[in-house]
């Protein structure tokens, strides 16, 4: 799911005109200027050059960015940068934003403080006692362990001496140096991290020594998490859209833990159907092969029988022809009580006829 987070001045995150972030898109907006001001925008290895027009406050809108990479954007001159809006695409791992304000953050089991913190008076006016934690010196630490894929920490800084560093899971702490603040102390973004991955993470803020006291106020946090995690919290927390906006319809809601997602269920059903179709196809191929084998055997048998019949008939003919030839060429001797063969009788008759013609009489 996609969320937008807006970081406005005098947030220490953009006080130098630069921001390190993870996100898919970014928009940069300028302070009001009555004059045309040339400026530069550097994002990763790209450079954008333009001129600030009094009627347009948008300085730059990026093309889609890789959410898995860390990006750095810088505006020069830095005084032009008023606010930055970062779009996060956290996928199905985070489907809602949980805001812990009005002291709810400090009631969480994962919230721990070290050093000296005052909870009776906030830095800015209009904020009730007990709804904030204000550090009373350098070396004070706030630690918060949470489950989610992104987090935004909100608070206020007193002046340019209020330096601090922030890290998540003790990885590469980032140091922030606020600009010199002389006006009212609004609540701004003190830290923002995204694409942390699902599971448990720990955010740690430590005040650093500078000239005088490092007075930093921590007010609340917004955690981007799965909706099923909210039910496991000790306090009931409603999503807030005051400073962070969820964009509906960009990604389906993930299913609660312990259940298969809809896409996974569909994939299993489709896989099972394909498996059944493959087995049925193999069965029909086997039966067809069996049938073809039987037909081929029958054809070979018929051919063999036909060939055998031809040989028998040819043999019979040869036998009959042999008997007639043998009979025609045979000679039999005259024995007592026997008559001459047909062939010899015919010969004797022809001889008598020839003798009669010649005036002779044939006697035996």
What residues have CB less than 8 Å from 278, skipping those under 6 apart? none
Asked whether 29 and 83 are in contact (CB, 8 A), the reply is yes
Q: What is the mean pLDDT of residues 248-275?
A: 58
- pLDDT exceeds 70 at position 29: yes
Please tell me whether residue 328 adopts helix, strand or coil conformation.
helix
In this prediction, residue 250 has a pLDDT band, given cuts at 50, 70 and 90, of very low
Pairing mode, strands 71-76 and 37-43: antiparallel
In this prediction, residue 328 has a pLDDT band, given cuts at 50, 70 and 90, of low
pLDDT for 177: 82
Which of these three, 248, 276, 311, is where a domain ends?
A: 248
Q: What is the 8-class DSSP label of residue 64?
A: P
Instruction: Give the range of the structural domain holding residue 334, as residue numbers without chain letter.
Output: 330-358
* Same-domain status, 63 and 132: yes
* Same-domain status, 54 and 147: yes
Q: What is the mean pLDDT of residues 287-300?
A: 83
Most confident of 220-229, 276-285, 334-343: 276-285
* Same-domain status, 318 and 349: no
Q: Count Cβ atoms within 10 A of the Cβ of residue 110 and give its class: 0-12 exposed, 13-18 middle, 19 or more buried.
A: middle
pLDDT for 235: 38
Q: What is the mean pLDDT of residues 292-312?
A: 76
195 within a domain of the structure (yes/no): yes
Alpha-carbon distance of 211 to 160, in angstroms, equals: 9
pLDDT for 252: 34
Asked whether 88 and 5 are in contact (CB, 8 A), the reply is yes
Percent of the chain with pLDDT over 90: 28
- pLDDT exceeds 60 at position 241: no
pLDDT for 209: 74
* Same-domain status, 207 and 276: no
296 within a domain of the structure (yes/no): yes
167 within a domain of the structure (yes/no): yes
CATH code (residue 241) = 2.60.120.260
Query: How far apart, in Å, are the Cα atoms of 211 and each of 15, 123, 330?
Result: 19, 18, 150
- pLDDT exceeds 60 at position 32: yes
In this prediction, residue 97 has a pLDDT band, given cuts at 50, 70 and 90, of confident
pTM greater than the 0.75 cutoff? no
Contacts from 335-344 at CB under 8 Å and sequence distance 24+?
A: none
* Same-domain status, 220 and 341: no
239 within a domain of the structure (yes/no): yes
Structure confidence by residue, pLDDT tens digits, 341-354: 444 445 454 555 55
Helix (H) or strand (E) holding 314: helix 262-328
150 within a domain of the structure (yes/no): yes
- pLDDT exceeds 70 at position 270: yes
In this prediction, residue 82 has a pLDDT band, given cuts at 50, 70 and 90, of very high
Residue 287: CB atoms within 10 Å: 10
Alpha-carbon distance of 121 to 43, in angstroms, equals: 40
Alpha-carbon distance of 195 to 2, in angstroms, equals: 12
Which of these three, 227, 248, 269, is where a domain ends?
A: 248
294 within a domain of the structure (yes/no): yes
* Same-domain status, 293 and 348: no
Which of these three, 224, 248, 272, is where a domain ends?
A: 248
pLDDT for 39: 95
Alpha-carbon distance of 305 to 179, in angstroms, equals: 108
Most confident of 90-94, 202-206, 308-312: 202-206
* Same-domain status, 138 and 274: no
* Same-domain status, 173 and 90: yes
256 within a domain of the structure (yes/no): no
254 within a domain of the structure (yes/no): no
Query: How far apart, in Å, are the Cα atoms of 195 and each of 26, 161, 253?
Result: 15, 31, 17
pLDDT for 254: 36
* Same-domain status, 224 and 309: no
* Same-domain status, 204 and 304: no
Asked whether 75 and 28 are in contact (CB, 8 A), the reply is yes
Structure confidence by residue, pLDDT tens digits, 157-192: 887 778 899 999 988 899 988 876 656 678 889 999
Counting the structural domains of the chain, the total is 3
Alpha-carbon distance of 173 to 307, in angstroms, equals: 96
* Same-domain status, 268 and 303: yes
pLDDT for 37: 92
* Same-domain status, 276 and 318: yes
């Amino acid at each position: 799911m996609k969320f937008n987070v807006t970081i406005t001045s005098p947030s220490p995150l953009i006080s130098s005109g630069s921001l390190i972030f993870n996100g898919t898109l970014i928009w940069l907006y300028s302070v009001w200027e009555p004059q045309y001001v040339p400026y530069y925008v550097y994002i990763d290895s790209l450079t954008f050059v333009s001129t600030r027009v009094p009627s347009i406050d948008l300085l730059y809108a990026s093309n889609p960015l890789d959410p898995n990479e860390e990006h750095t954007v810088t505006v020069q001159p830095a005084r032009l940068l008023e606010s930055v809006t970062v779009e996060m695409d956290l996928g199905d791992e985070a489907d809602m934003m949980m805001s812990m304000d009005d002291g709810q953050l400090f009631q969480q089991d994962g919230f721990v403080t070290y050093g000296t913190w005052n909870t009776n008076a906030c830095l800015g006016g209009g904020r009730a006692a007990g709804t904030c934690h204000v550090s009373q010196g350098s070396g004070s630490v706030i630690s918060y362990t949470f489950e989610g894929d992104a987090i935004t920490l909100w608070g206020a800084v007193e002046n340019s001496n209020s330096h601090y560093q922030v890290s998540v899971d003790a990885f590469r702490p980032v140091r922030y140096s606020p600009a010199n603040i002389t006006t009212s102390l609004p609540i701004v973004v003190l830290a923002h991290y995204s694409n942390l991955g699902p599971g448990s993470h720990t955010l740690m803020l430590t005040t650093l020594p500078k000239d005088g006291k490092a007075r930093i106020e921590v007010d609340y946090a917004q955690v981007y998490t799965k909706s099923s995690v909210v039910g496991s919290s000790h306090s009931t927390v409603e999503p807030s859209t005051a400073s962070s906006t969820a964009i509906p319809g960009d990604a389906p809601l993930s299913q609660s833990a312990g259940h298969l997602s809809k896409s996974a269920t569909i994939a299993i059903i489709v896989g099972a159907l394909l498996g059944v179709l493959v087995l049925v196809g193999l069965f029909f191929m086997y039966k067809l092969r069996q049938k073809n084998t039987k037909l081929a055997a029958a054809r070979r048998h018929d051919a063999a029988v036909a060939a055998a019949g031809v040989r028998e008939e040819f043999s019979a003919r040869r036998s009959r022809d042999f008997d007639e030839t043998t009979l025609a060429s045979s000679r039999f001797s005259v024995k007592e009580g026997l008559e001459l063969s047909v062939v010899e009788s015919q010969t004797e008759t022809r001889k008598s006829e020839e003798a009669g013609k010649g005036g002779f009489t044939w006697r035996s």
